[in-house]
């Protein structure tokens, strides 16, 4: 397998001139100059350079079609990807292939579709790694570093918006280190005004030396796009290839320490994050952290968070620590400064496994995240995430949000128990489900019967999946 490396070629005279034009701010002025004299020549030189960069990058940007199953419907999702290696590694967004049953990739200049295998995904960075099996070498992209990007620098976004292959847009780096208020997302994004429309997700952001500096993730209105730094993406790819991603974990929920709270608590100019809750048996609980504590320092790093989106910076500090590593936390408790030593834990599973039943309901394992998000009273059981309308489960009265605790005489502590219990009940015409609904226990008799047909049950895709406004598949 080809080794992934960043390109470090020295800039030629044309690139040096392009940098000088952009840095001096004359590039936009050149566009308005009359078509004669030195200004016109410089403009044509810059324009030709951008054309050459686009022509160099487009062959490495693939078109992706995924058939995903969302509850009881199959939908087609499209996106883009970047060829990482000549032997068939492709990087794209996790949200492009999430819950995909089938993924096909079209390489520019090659008519046949390639069936892709998903080697791994990471929801917290929105990165996925695919494997193709090409008949011949693929044109791999060249990679740079987002660390070298500067605000105002010109960049190209390449992708397949709305299925239009090889689309290139030109813009600038609008900002770096952007945090988005999306649960569990750890990225500090590059913001750009180069267009990132539906179908461009997974495509590259490229500097004017032709190096990939980011993986485009999502757009939020015209002229506002967010890109994953390529350094983050390649770190995730390396972890997937080694067998998995391990991140640090404290076991707390947080809110920002805004100025009003700081004044109310009498904390003066202190900055930090406020601990809302502490998970049982977590590293935070063992270290003695309590709700109401204000974390002001993580090791030698000052913690600052005045808005919800600022919490992402602290979360990345924790996630980037090694499990087993010991870190000193400086906190404020009742206005007094204290220091706690905490041993970083290993982050629990973020994405729960899911199981679909033949009687019309799906369940998920109860992860730490699911337990918190749904405010469950127990971590035991299997969480019902979906009930198909008109199915035996629906007719019996099962509801999304119920927690299965028992099937017939078998207790259900986790997803493995649920699978065994359902296998044992397979031969029964009806079976009893004991479920927890809030503070109540429900006894629900599920009677097997003819499963009603419903839109989307066919193998053919029913149309594009419905996603939130931040998604740009």
Q: Are 360 and 291 in contact (CB under 8 A)?
A: no
Greatest alpha-carbon span in the chain: 89
The DSSP bridge partners found for residue 340 are 329
Find the catalytic residue in 49, 60, 85, 126. 126
Q: Please tell me the distance from the alpha carbon of residue 282 to that of residue 250, in angstroms, as a whole number.
A: 7
Token digits of residue 7: 């390109």
Find the catalytic residue in 43, 49, 95, 142. 95
Q: Are 178 and 190 in contact (CB under 8 A)?
A: yes
Find the catalytic residue in 80, 201, 279, 385. 201
Asked about 36 being catalytic, the answer comes back as no
Q: Please tell me the distance from the alpha carbon of residue 292 to that of residue 275, in angstroms, as a whole number.
A: 5
Asked about 95 being catalytic, the answer comes back as yes
Q: Other CB atoms closer than 10 Å to residue 234's CB: what's the count? A: 20
Of 23, 118, 5, whose CA–CA distance to 66 is shortest?
118
What are the phi and psi torsion angles at 121 (to 5°)?
-135, 160
Q: Are 171 and 200 in contact (CB under 8 A)?
A: no
The residue assigned the tokens 């090889």 is 166
The torsion region of residue 438 among left (phi > 0), alpha (psi -120 to 50) and beta comes to left
Q: Please tell me the distance from the alpha carbon of residue 421 to that of residue 278, in angstroms, as a whole number.
A: 33
Asked about 126 being catalytic, the answer comes back as yes
Token digits of residue 339: 């220091």
Q: Residues with catalytic annotation?
A: 95, 126, 201
């Amino acid at each position: 397998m080809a080794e992934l490396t960043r390109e470090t070629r020295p800039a030629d005279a044309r690139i040096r001139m392009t940098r000088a034009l952009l840095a001096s701010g004359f590039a936009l002025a050149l566009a308005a100059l009359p078509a004669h004299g030195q200004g016109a020549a410089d403009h044509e030189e810059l324009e030709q350079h951008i054309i050459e960069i686009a022509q160099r990058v487009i062959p490495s940007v693939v078109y992706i079609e995924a058939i995903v199953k969302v509850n009881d419907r199959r939908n087609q999702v499209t996106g883009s990807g970047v060829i990482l290696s000549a032997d068939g590694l492709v990087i794209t967004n996790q949200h492009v292939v999430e819950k995909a049953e089938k993924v096909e990739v079209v390489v520019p200049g090659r008519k046949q579709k390639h069936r892709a295998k998903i080697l791994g995904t990471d929801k917290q960075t929105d990165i996925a790694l695919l494997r193709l099996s090409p008949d011949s070498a693929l044109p791999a992209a060249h990679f740079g570093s987002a660390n070298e990007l500067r605000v105002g620098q010109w960049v190209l976004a390449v992708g397949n918006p709305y299925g239009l292959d090889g689309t290139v847009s030109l813009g600038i780096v609008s900002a770096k280190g952007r945090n988005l208020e999306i649960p569990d997302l750890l990225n500090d994004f590059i913001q750009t005004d180069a267009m990132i429309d539906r179908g461009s997700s997974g495509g590259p952001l490229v500097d004017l030396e032709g190096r990939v500096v980011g993986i485009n993730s999502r757009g939020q209105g015209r002229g506002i796009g967010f890109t994953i730094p390529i350094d983050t993406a390649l770190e995730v790819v390396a972890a997937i290839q080694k067998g998995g991603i391990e991140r640090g974990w404290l076991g707390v929920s947080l809110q920002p320490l805004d100025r009003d709270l700081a004044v109310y608590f009498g904390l003066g100019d202190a900055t930090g994050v406020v601990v809302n809750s502490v998970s049982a048996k977590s590293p935070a609980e063992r270290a003695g952290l309590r709700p109401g504590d204000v974390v002001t320092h993580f090791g030698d790093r000052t913690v600052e968070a005045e808005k919800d989106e600022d919490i992402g910076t602290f979360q990345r500090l924790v996630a980037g620590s090694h499990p087993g590593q010991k870190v000193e936390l400086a906190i404020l408790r009742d206005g007094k400064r204290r220091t706690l030593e905490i041993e970083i834990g290993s982050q629990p599973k973020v994405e729960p496994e899911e199981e679909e039943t033949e009687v019309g309901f799906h369940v998920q394992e109860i992860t730490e995240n699911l337990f918190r998000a749904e405010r469950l009273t127990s971590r035991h059981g299997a969480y019902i995430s979906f009930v198909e309308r008109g199915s035996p489960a629906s007719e019996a009265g099962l509801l999304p949000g119920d927690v299965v605790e028992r099937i017939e005489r078998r207790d259900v502590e986790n997803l493995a128990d649920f699978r065994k219990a359902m296998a044992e009940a397979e031969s029964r015409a009806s079976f009893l489900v004991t479920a927890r609904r809030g503070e109540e226990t429900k006894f629900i008799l599920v009677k097997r019967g003819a499963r009603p047909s419903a839109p989307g049950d066919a193998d053919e895709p029913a149309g594009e999946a419905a996603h939130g406004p931040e998604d740009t598949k």
